Amino acid sequence: MLAYSTKLLWPFVSPATLILTLLLLGGAGCLWRWTRPVARWLLGGALFALLLVAVFPPAYWALRPLEAFFPNTALPERVDGIIVLGGAEQPRLTQARGQPHLSGGAERLLAFAELARRYPQARLVYTGGGVPLAPGDMPEAVVAEAAMVQMGMDMARVEFERAARNTVENARLSRALVRPKPDEVWLLVTSAWHMPRSVSCFQAEDWPVLPYAVDYATMGEAEPWLSFSPLSGLVSLNLATHEWLGLVLYRLVGHTRSLLPER
């Protein structure tokens, strides 16, 4: 239920939607004299928020702590398994066009293929089914499998967990599939900004994975303090808000043991 409710509610409460709502209410309020004072405040607040996001990068500041939480270190000599989280796939576009389409998180699968070549004896696991919103929606795993075939991966090595609808199910269902031994070394591949929540979910399943972060959204310390990019600013604000709310929600409902994972 949580997977569907968050998927359906998020478009209505995202920062971009809230700013648009303020603009619409403010514009409508200008039609009547008695609502114009409130309308001016609504329009002013919306425009100020847009200017703040466009000129200053508050979203990047919110994403940087997440991306820096698990800095990538030297890879171990021995790796028993590699698990990659779904989320980079675009099932509906794939269905419409007949070829695999990936989002900006395609680095997840690229890194998965690279690590598979580096560790030829490691088990390979993809986890992700997505949240189907209509009958016949294609699972994320189907798109990922087609993309891996295009990349020339040895598909006989890859195990697919096709039912997970969110990060907590990624960890829970993958553990049931893999049944990792206590002394095994497993790498977890996902986007850098998503890594803290992902590791928290795996730790809640008593599965100590090594994070391998990809798909960065910020330049770290090199991030400029001033810029002008309204569209990318809104996209980053949505991403940062979604991830921090996810961390809080998972903790509140008991999916994780703490707001941020152990390091």
Task: Check which CATH number belongs to the domain holding 84 and give it.
Answer: 3.40.50.620
Tell me whether residue 52 is in a domain: yes
Please, which pLDDT band fits residue 1 given cuts at 50, 70 and 90?
low
Q: Are residues 44 and 137 in the same domain?
A: no
Q: Are residues 116 and 207 in the same domain?
A: yes
Q: Are residues 129 and 187 in the same domain?
A: yes
Please, which pLDDT band fits residue 226 given cuts at 50, 70 and 90?
low
Examine the pLDDT at 59 and tell me if it is beyond 90: no
Examine the pLDDT at 242 and tell me if it is beyond 80: yes
By CB atoms closer than 10 A (0-12, 13-18, 19+), residue 97 is exposed
Q: Are residues 134 and 97 in the same domain?
A: yes
Q: Are residues 16 and 138 in the same domain?
A: no
Which domain, by its residues, includes 18?
2-66+230-252
According to the model, what pLDDT value does residue 166 have? 94
Give the tokens for residue 217. 């959204």
Q: Are residues 182 and 237 in the same domain?
A: no
Q: Are residues 124 and 81 in the same domain?
A: yes
Question: What is the mean predicted confidence (pLDDT) over 213-221?
Answer: 86
Cβ contacts of 44 within 8 Å, gap of 6 or more: 26
According to the model, what pLDDT value does residue 168 have? 96
According to the model, what pLDDT value does residue 103 have? 87
- Give the total number of structural domains in the chain: 2
Q: What are φ and ψ of residue 55, in 5° steps?
A: -95, -50
Q: Tell me: the pLDDT tens digits for 97-155? A: 999 999 878 999 999 999 999 999 999 999 998 876 666 788 899 999 999 999 999 99
Examine the pLDDT at 58 and tell me if it is beyond 80: no
Q: Are residues 12 and 55 in the same domain?
A: yes
Tell me whether residue 166 is in a domain: yes
